[in-house]
Amino acid sequence: MAADLDEFAMAKLAREMAMGIRNYQAIFADYGIDETDYQQIEKNEFYRRAREQFALEWNSALSAADRVRLISAAYAEQTLVSVGRGILDENKPLSDRLDGFKTLCRNAGIGDPKTPVSNPAERFIITINMGADTETYDKSITIDATPEQPKIEAPKEKSLFDE
pLDDT digits (tens, 9 = 90+) for 93-105: 999 999 988 888 8
* Three-state secondary-structure class, residue 36: helix
Give domain status of residue 88, yes or no. Answer: no
Count of domains observed in the chain: 1
Number of Cβ within 10 Å of residue 31's Cβ equals: 18
Q: What is the pLDDT of residues 113-138, one digit of tens each?
A: 665 555 656 676 777 777 777 777 77
By residue range, what is the domain housing residue 20?
7-59
Looking at every residue in the chain, the average pLDDT score rounds to 81
Q: Across the chain, which distance is largest between two alpha carbons, in Å?
A: 104
List the beta strands (DSSP E) in 105-159: 123-130, 133-140
Give domain status of residue 27, yes or no. Answer: yes
Let me know: does 5 contact 31? Beta carbons within 8 Å.
yes
Residues of the chain above pLDDT 90, percent: 31
Identify which of 77, 78, 97 has the alpha carbon closest to the alpha carbon of residue 87. 97
Give domain status of residue 158, yes or no. Answer: no
pTM value surpassing 0.75: no
The C-alpha angle with vertex 11 and arms to 4 and 59, in degrees rounded to 5, equals 140
Confidence of residue 153 (pLDDT cuts 50, 70, 90): low
Q: What is the pLDDT of residue 137?
A: 74
As a whole number of angstroms, the distance between CA 48 and CA 14 comes to 8
106 backbone dihedrals φ, ψ, rounded to 5°: -60, -45
